[in-house]
């Protein structure tokens, strides 16, 4: 008997038992659907985090005080040490030994209370030089950026992010030219940056930029830097730049043993890798949970098929009496279970994609469906049909025709 014929016969049998067929399929739909939805959610999260990191600037290296090497002990919060200085930054930008770096942006960053006549907020304050805005790809929407003259002359000016504007000037008036207070010092707002997105602690729009020297001397009374951001000349030079800058600073700090370095250099790729590995674990975990529901769906298929075999014992006996060989019976029941799981797989994929689309709309996050996960879902649903259909099919094929014919 040809495979196509067995296929249509199985299809007819399944349509005769609509309720049972639907319920069996439903188990697989939920299983495959949740795997697809959760995987695409995980991937969307990963993608959006990656996008956000990349928007911080390209070919970016960050030098921070303190070492990430050196085993054991409590590691101080980055920025709590004072080993990086303005002179380090100056040396980096003026040295002829450094050939891989385009831009050097010395930064001092802290949180502080900002006060305006209309309100106040606790905001990140960054002491920056003009290089900062190039390195971190920050564009202006109104007014002017901090200039080298502002830095040299310790000017009390500030560039603010759009979130700061809404927090401090809720009446919607143009804040340029207005005065805000940081650490009891009056600063004049000279510019507003463009919205960049981000949320929570990583809100890149809730920042006040002031000239680096103003931050260090006038506002916070420090002389060290919290980080130096560097832009490599191109992406291929990232590793070379990391080495070059590392050895340069070791020499400057008179440290011979690299494991005792009093600074660390992180590339943007390092950050992406760290976060990607975290989100990958998370995605795998989610998919694992969904896989359990798929397993339950598979067991449901097995259960239904076993009931079907018992219920159709006489029919199986008849088929064997009329000349059906074991292989034909096995194939017929396997086809039935694969039709169930494959149909469930297709509906599940659609269901999963729609679900993740709706979720991405509601949370206004990215919508990512990888073809790999869809292909995988097809394969897995078919495999489940074969694996969980095997035992019932074999049970049917092994029935003795006389026993089966006698069965009431």
What is d(CA 28, CA 185) in angstroms, rounded to the nearest whole number? 65
What is d(CA 373, CA 34) in angstroms, rounded to the nearest whole number? 12
Give which of 384, 369, 370 is closest to 27, Cα–Cα: 384
- In this structure, are residues 394 and 386 in contact, taking their beta carbons and an 8 Å threshold? no
Which residue, 2 or 111, is less far from another protein as judged by CB?
Answer: 2
- Which region, judged by CB under 8 A, interacts with another protein, from 52-60, 128-136, 170-178, 399-407? 399-407
Which residue, 322 or 362, is less far from another protein as judged by CB?
Answer: 322
Count of residues in contact with another protein, rule CB under 8 A: 21
Q: How far is the CB of 406 from another protein (least distance, A)?
A: 9
Provide the mask over 235-274, with x wherever binding to another protein is found by CB under 8 A and - wherever it is not.
----------------------------------------
Provide the mask over 14-53, with x wherever binding to another protein is found by CB under 8 A and - wherever it is not.
--x-------------------------------------
- 3-class DSSP state of 358: helix
Give which of 151, 197, 154, 226 is closest to 55, Cα–Cα: 197
- Which region, judged by CB under 8 A, interacts with another protein, from 191-199, 222-230, 316-324, 349-357? 316-324
Which residue, 224 or 326, is less far from another protein as judged by CB?
Answer: 326
Which residue, 23 or 402, is less far from another protein as judged by CB?
Answer: 402
Q: Which helix (H) or strand (E) holds 359?
A: helix 326-362
Q: How far is the CB of 323 from another protein (least distance, A)?
A: 2
Give which of 245, 235, 385, 359 is closest to 304, Cα–Cα: 385
Which residue, 220 or 407, is less far from another protein as judged by CB?
Answer: 407
Which residue, 19 or 77, is less far from another protein as judged by CB?
Answer: 19
- Which region, judged by CB under 8 A, interacts with another protein, from 56-64, 84-92, 312-320, 385-393? 312-320
Which residue, 13 or 93, is less far from another protein as judged by CB?
Answer: 13
Q: Which helix (H) or strand (E) holds 229?
A: strand 227-232
3-state percent breakdown (helix, strand, coil) of the chain, nearest 5: 55, 15, 25
Which residue, 252 or 314, is less far from another protein as judged by CB?
Answer: 314
In order of 113, 118, 226, the CA distances from 158 in angstroms are: 14, 17, 19
Which residue, 5 or 152, is less far from another protein as judged by CB?
Answer: 5
Which of 81, 156, 253, 314 binds another protein (CB under 8 A)? It is 314
- In this structure, are residues 178 and 169 in contact, taking their beta carbons and an 8 Å threshold? yes
Residue 311 as a binder of another protein (CB under 8 A): the answer is no
Residue 307 as a binder of another protein (CB under 8 A): the answer is no
Paired with 125 in beta bridges are 110, 208
Residue 402 as a binder of another protein (CB under 8 A): the answer is yes
What is d(CA 363, CA 240) in angstroms, rounded to the nearest whole number? 40
- Which region, judged by CB under 8 A, interacts with another protein, from 271-279, 301-309, 318-326, 352-360? 318-326
Q: List all residues 6 or more positions away from 44 whose beta carbon is below 8 Å from its beta carbon.
A: 356, 360, 365, 366, 367, 368
Q: Which of residues 130-149 bind another protein (CB under 8 A)?
A: none
What is d(CA 391, CA 395) in angstroms, rounded to the nearest whole number? 6
What is d(CA 185, CA 197) in angstroms, rounded to the nearest whole number? 29
- In this structure, are residues 358 and 17 in contact, taking their beta carbons and an 8 Å threshold? no
- Which region, judged by CB under 8 A, interacts with another protein, from 167-175, 234-242, 309-317, 375-383? 309-317
Provide the mask over 320-339, with x wherever binding to another protein is found by CB under 8 A and - wherever it is not.
xxxxxxxxx-----------
Which residue, 333 or 351, is less far from another protein as judged by CB?
Answer: 333
Q: How far is the CB of 311 from another protein (least distance, A)?
A: 11
Query: Where would I find the beta strands (DSSP E) of 27-170?
Result: 60-65, 101-116, 119-128, 140-143, 157-160
- 3-class DSSP state of 209: strand
Residues binding another protein (CB under 8 A) = 1, 5, 16, 314-315, 317-328, 400-402, 405
């Amino acid at each position: 008997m040809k495979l196509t014929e067995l296929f249509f016969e199985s299809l007819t049998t399944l349509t005769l038992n609509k309720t049972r067929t639907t319920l069996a399929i439903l188990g697989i739909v939920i299983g495959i659907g949740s795997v697809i939805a959760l995987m695409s959610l995980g991937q969307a999260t990963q993608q959006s985090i990656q996008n956000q990191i990349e928007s911080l600037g390209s070919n970016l290296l960050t030098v921070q005080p303190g070492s990430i090497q050196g085993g054991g002990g409590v590691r101080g919060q980055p920025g709590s040490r004072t080993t990086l200085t303005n002179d380090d930054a100056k040396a980096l930008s003026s040295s002829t030994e450094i050939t891989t770096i385009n831009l050097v942006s010395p930064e001092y960053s802290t949180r502080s209370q900002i006060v305006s006549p209309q309100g106040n907020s606790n905001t990140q304050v960054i002491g920056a030089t003009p290089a900062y805005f190039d390195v971190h790809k920050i564009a202006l929407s109104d007014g002017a950026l901090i200039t080298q003259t502002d830095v040299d002359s310790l000017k009390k000016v500030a560039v603010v992010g759009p979130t700061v504007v809404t927090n401090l000037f809720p009446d919607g008036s143009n804040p340029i030219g207005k005065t805000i207070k940081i650490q009891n010092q009056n600063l004049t707002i000279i510019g507003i940056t463009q919205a960049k997105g981000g949320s929570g602690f990583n809100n890149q729009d809730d920042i006040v930029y002031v000239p680096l020297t103003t931050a260090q001397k006038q506002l916070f009374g420090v002389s060290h830097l919290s980080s130096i951001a560097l832009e490599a000349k191109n992406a291929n030079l990232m590793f070379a730049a990391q080495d070059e800058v590392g050895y340069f600073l070791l020499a400057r700090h008179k440290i011979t043993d690299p494991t005792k370095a009093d600074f660390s250099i992180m590339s943007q790729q390092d950050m992406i890798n760290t976060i990607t590995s975290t989100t990958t674990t998370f995605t795998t975990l989610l998919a694992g949970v969904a896989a359990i529901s798929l397993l339950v769906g598979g067991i449901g298929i097995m259960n239904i098929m076993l009931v079907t075999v018992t219920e159709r014992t006489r029919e199986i006996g008849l088929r064997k009496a009329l000349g059906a060989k074991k292989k034909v019976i096995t194939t017929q029941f396997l086809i039935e279970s694969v039709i169930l799981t494959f149909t469930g797989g297709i509906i599940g994929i659609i269901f999963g994609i729609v679900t993740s689309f709706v979720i991405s709309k509601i949370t206004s996050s990215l919508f990512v469906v990888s073809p790999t996960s869809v292909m995988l879902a097809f394969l897995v649903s078919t495999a489940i049909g074969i694996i969980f259909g095997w035992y019932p099919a074999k049970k049917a094929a092994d029935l003795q025709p006389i026993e089966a014919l006698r069965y009431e």
